[in-house]
Amino acid sequence: MPEQQQPVVFLGEGTKRTRGRDAQRINILVAKAVANAIKSTLGPKGMDKMIVDDLGDVTISNDGATILQEMSIDHPAGKMMVEVAKTQDDEVGDGTTTATVLAGTLLGKAEKMLDDEIHPSTIIKGYRLAAKKAKEYYEAISESIVLGDKKLLHDIAFTAMTGKASEGAESLSNLVVDAIIQVAEQKENKTVVDIEQVKVEKKVGASLMDSELVKGIVIDKEVVHSNMPKQVQNAKIALVDAAFEIKETETDAKIQITSPDQLQSFLDQEEGMLKKMVEKLKKAGANVLICQKGIDDLAQHFLAKEGILAVRRVKKSDMDALAKATGAKVVSRLEDLETSDLGKAQTVEEKKIAGDDMTFIYGCKNPKAVSLLVRGGSEHVVDEAERAVHDALGALASTLRAGKFVIGGGAAEVAVSTKLRNYAKTIGGREQLAIEAFAETLEVIPRTLAESAGMDPLDTMVSLRSKHSSKDGGAIGVDVYESKLANMKAKRVIEPLAVKTQALTSASEVAEMILRIDDIIAGNSKGKGPEMPPGGMGGMGGMEM
């Protein structure tokens, strides 16, 4: 009789392990829950989510990346879905909800294939083939755009904004287009756009329609001294990142003062040093000082006497933006300041906005850095408007980098889905099922748009497929405002190609990664710390599947 082998125990006490099909089921369940949590926010008619944190702070948004960042998600698979939205946001600035919903739907379709005994490796191979081909199809149906086409750029910005700042989307999108055109640069026949050069300042008060684009920079700081001028015309600006103060000595030093005369002499010396600093500034021809560090009270007095407007403790990012906008150089040593280092602006002015003093630097000649001042009736409105501006900036920047756009409203998704189904037939085998599942996944976008507009999703998809199978149906999509199918190109609903291809890449890669996992080992360090629940996601209990 053969000797019975004892099971080998290699995991510590308190370690929980889920293997095989159960591990895949839990991960897919969690990923689907995350996708379902933000699915209803998709599109112009998407609903908002209210997230209340532990401190009672409230965030109201329909921006996928914002919602997922604010939600408390504990499960690792859930965190991977949050990473999808973050990557999409960092890369192209828009399409975060699309990427997350696609990832969740791909995994939902994979779950059914796993139930039919199709191996995860086969599904992954099929998804890879489909993602590669889908990108080619998107590229094939895309159209070109150039920097000078303001109307098309406005349509892209407006499409990205709708649903977030609906009442002010028209005027805000015009401001965003102007901002992007201002900071865009042509390098080696390519359009280069750095959206960091568009500084977005938000202030509660007035309405979204009162938002303005400043062809220069807005600094959320006040003029340091009451006797300084509040407005300077024909400004010559010095950007200094050294303190206008008498600093401590580099090495430890001890100063002994034995008489009042010595003390007075010491104070006079200090005053003389500050006077020299101001004289150096005046000699260079500066009438505005923007300082990254502090300005001593006595130095403020001397600056005011010379009629120099000064602002202190300005952020480094603002200093860099000012350098780009005004043509100034940031000087680290005041002794090195030359007239050629000064920047120029038509006006530097302190204005009171919503009870706070802010410094406006505008009228810069051909500025490559601008500011967008976003206004709104309440903090929540301003925050959501800022997120809408961020999406529009990202959408325009990614459009100009790639120079391509596709038709929105779900039209591009149905067109690519139709082509993928035909492609699947040429592959055959079990991979064909995965490619067909990928094609169905793309259709979740128009289906969700139809649901948010109160349309019947099944009838909508049948009609859409029928129209796209005809020769002239490639631009037909879901018009959420009229709750019917329409030519979305005629409706001027267009989106950047880069947003679509990045969403495909992010969604398919995270789906492949989650499908590869067949073992979840959750252990506590020496029996301490919280245990990971089998499907646990803090703050998402009772989520519908």
* Cα 181 to Cα 34: distance, rounded to the nearest angstrom: 37
pLDDT score of 530 = 45
Q: Is the pLDDT of residue 285 over 60?
A: yes
CA-closest candidate to residue 122, choices 427, 424, 433, 431: 431
Lowest average pLDDT, out of 278-282, 351-355, 491-495, goes to: 351-355
Strand-strand pairing, 476-479 and 484-487:
antiparallel
Lowest average pLDDT, out of 250-259, 474-483, 508-517, 527-536, goes to: 527-536
Instruction: Tell me: do 347 and 227 sit in the same domain.
Output: yes
Instruction: Tell me: do 340 and 429 sit in the same domain.
Output: no
Residue 5 pLDDT class (50, 70, 90 cuts): low
CA dihedral 446→452→458→461, nearest 10 degrees, is -20
- Is 258 among the catalytic positions? no
Q: What is the CATH number of the domain that holds 205?
A: 3.30.260.10
Q: Is the residue at 433 inside a domain?
A: yes
CA-closest candidate to residue 118, choices 474, 400, 436: 436
Instruction: Tell me: do 74 and 133 sit in the same domain.
Output: yes
- Output the average pLDDT for the chain: 85
Instruction: Tell me: do 306 and 425 sit in the same domain.
Output: no
pLDDT score of 100 = 92
Residue where one domain finishes, among candidates 314, 343, 366: 366
Q: What is the CATH number of the domain that holds 333?
A: 3.50.7.10
Tell me how many degrees the CA angle 200-204-209 measures, rounded to the nearest 5. Answer: 75
Q: Which tens digit of pLDDT belongs to each residue from 128-155?
A: 999 999 999 999 999 998 888 889 999 9
Instruction: Tell me: do 181 and 119 sit in the same domain.
Output: no
Q: Is 26 left (phi over 0), alpha (psi -120 to 50) or beta?
A: alpha
Q: Which tens digit of pLDDT belongs to each residue from 45-56?
A: 888 889 888 888
Q: Is 507 buried (19+), middle (13-18) or exposed (0-12) by CB count in 10 A?
A: buried
pLDDT score of 191 = 80
pLDDT score of 131 = 93
Instruction: Tell me: do 351 and 384 sit in the same domain.
Output: no
- What residues contact 422, with CB distance under 8 A and at least 6 apart? none
Which residues in 340-354 are b (16+ Cβ under 10 Å) and which e?
ebbbebeebbbeebe
pLDDT score of 263 = 66
90-110: average pLDDT: 89
Instruction: Tell me: do 205 and 157 sit in the same domain.
Output: yes
Instruction: Tell me: do 357 and 378 sit in the same domain.
Output: no
CA-closest candidate to residue 288, choices 238, 349, 246: 238
Q: Is the residue at 497 inside a domain?
A: yes
Instruction: Tell me: do 154 and 189 sit in the same domain.
Output: yes
Residue where one domain finishes, among candidates 358, 379, 402: 402
Given 63, 89, 318, 479, the catalytic residue: 63
Instruction: Tell me: do 322 and 242 sit in the same domain.
Output: yes
Q: Which tens digit of pLDDT belongs to each residue from 418-455?
A: 999 999 999 888 899 999 999 999 999 999 999 988 99
Q: Which tens digit of pLDDT belongs to each residue from 221-279?
A: 999 999 999 999 999 999 999 888 876 555 566 667 777 776 666 666 778 888 888 89
Residue where one domain finishes, among candidates 347, 377, 402: 402
- What residues contact 367, with CB distance under 8 A and at least 6 apart? 182, 183, 215, 216, 324, 325, 326
Q: Is the pLDDT of residue 528 over 70?
A: no
Residue 307 pLDDT class (50, 70, 90 cuts): very high
Q: Is the residue at 329 inside a domain?
A: yes
Percent over 70 (pLDDT), the chain: 88
Contact 514, 34 (CB under 8 A): no
Q: What is the CATH number of the domain that holds 425?
A: 1.10.560.10
174-190: average pLDDT: 87
Percent over 90 (pLDDT), the chain: 39
Q: Is the pLDDT of residue 170 over 60?
A: yes
Q: Which alpha helices (H) appear in 116-235, and where do they start and end?
A: 120-141, 150-161, 169-183
Lowest average pLDDT, out of 114-123, 185-194, 199-208, 323-332, goes to: 185-194
- Is 418 among the catalytic positions? no
Residue 529 pLDDT class (50, 70, 90 cuts): very low
Given 18, 41, 59, 96, the catalytic residue: 96
Lowest average pLDDT, out of 16-20, 119-123, 168-172, 495-499, goes to: 16-20
Sign of CA dihedral 337, 343, 345, 351: negative
pLDDT score of 545 = 37
- Is 22 among the catalytic positions? no
Q: Is the residue at 498 inside a domain?
A: yes
- Is 320 among the catalytic positions? no
* Cα 51 to Cα 375: distance, rounded to the nearest angstrom: 23
Please count the structural domains in the chain. Answer: 3
Given 59, 87, 97, 159, the catalytic residue: 97
Determine the structural domain holding residue 230 and report its residue range: 218-249+270-366
Q: Is the residue at 537 inside a domain?
A: no
Q: Is the residue at 502 inside a domain?
A: yes
Instruction: Tell me: do 233 and 361 sit in the same domain.
Output: yes
* Cα 185 to Cα 503: distance, rounded to the nearest angstrom: 26
Cite the beta strand spans of 227-279 per DSSP E: 231-240
Q: Is the residue at 295 inside a domain?
A: yes
Given 105, 391, 448, 460, the catalytic residue: 391
pLDDT score of 444 = 94
DSSP string over 75-89 = SHHHHHHHHHHHHHH
Instruction: Tell me: do 204 and 228 sit in the same domain.
Output: no
Neighbouring CB atoms inside 10 A of 112's CB total 11
What letter represents residue 8's amino acid?
V
Q: Is the residue at 260 inside a domain?
A: no
